[in-house]
C-alpha cells in the first residue's frame, strides 16, 4: 500500500469501522468517528511504515485496485506467534470474483513467511458472506459474544 492508498483506506475504515461498532451496540453514532480514528491511529502510528503491520493491496489483471487486507503480525496480549487480520475488504464491483479469497491467502502466505504460525480475525455476526469465506478457508470459531437488548421500566 502506498501513502495515497493509505489515506483513502483510513478515511473509509473510520466510516465503516465506526458504523460496525454502532450496529453492534458498542458505540453511539456521535462518538463512532472519533473513537474509530483514535483506534486506527493507535494501531498504525507510522501509517504504511508501521513496524509489524502488513497493508496489502490486491489488484485486478488490469491493475485496478480490487481490495486490501491489513494484518498485525503480533496481536495485542496474545502469545508470540499469533497475527491478527484487522481488516479485509473487496470493492463492491469486484466481489464474488475470488479476490477476497486471494487476499486472505496472500495475507496467510506473507504472515507465515515472517515466521508467524497462527492468524486470527473478528467477524461481526450478521456478516454471513465473510463468515462463509473464513469457515471455508479453515478458520474456526474461538469465541462467541452475545447480547440482548432489554426493555427498561423507564
The full set of domain ranges for the chain reads 1-51, 52-146
Task: Find the helix or strand (DSSP H, E) in which 106 lies.
Answer: helix 99-113
Dihedral sign from CA coordinates of 135, 138, 13, 65: negative
Digit-coded pLDDT (tens) for 120-150: 998 878 889 999 999 999 999 988 888 787 8
CA 150 to chain centre: 30
Q: How much is the mean pLDDT over the chain? A: 91
Q: Is the pLDDT of residue 78 over 60?
A: no
pTM here is: 0.82
Bridge-based pairing state of the strands 82-90 and 118-121? parallel
Digit-coded pLDDT (tens) for 3-43: 999 999 999 999 999 998 998 899 999 999 999 999 999 99
CATH of domain 52-146: 3.40.630.30
Q: Is the pLDDT of residue 77 over 60?
A: no
Rounded distance, CA 17 to CA 4, Å?
20
- Residue 87 cell numbers, joined: 481488516
Amino acid at each position: 500500500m502506498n501513502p495515497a492508498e493509505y489515506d483513502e483506506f483510513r478515511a473509509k475504515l473510520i466510516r465503516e469501522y465506526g458504523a460496525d461498532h454502532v450496529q453492534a451496540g458498542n458505540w453511539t453514532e456521535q462518538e463512532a468517528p472519533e473513537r474509530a480514528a483514535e483506534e486506527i491511529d493507535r494501531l498504525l502510528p507510522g501509517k504504511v511504515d508501521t513496524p509489524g503491520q502488513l497493508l496489502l493491496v490486491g489488484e485486478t489483471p488490469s491493475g485496478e485496485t480490487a481490495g486490501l487486507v491489513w494484518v498485525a503480525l503480533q496481536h495485542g496480549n496474545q502469545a508470540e506467534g499469533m497475527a491478527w487480520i484487522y481488516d479485509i475488504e473487496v470493492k463492491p464491483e469486484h466481489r464474488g470474483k475470488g479476490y477476497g479469497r486471494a487476499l486472505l491467502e496472500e495475507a496467510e502466505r506473507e504472515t507465515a513467511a515472517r515466521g508467524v504460525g497462527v492468524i486470527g480475525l473478528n467477524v461481526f455476526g450478521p456478516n454471513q458472506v465473510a463468515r462463509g469465506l473464513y469457515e471455508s478457508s479453515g478458520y474456526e470459531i474461538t469465541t462467541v459474544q452475545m447480547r440482548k437488548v432489554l426493555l427498561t421500566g423507564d
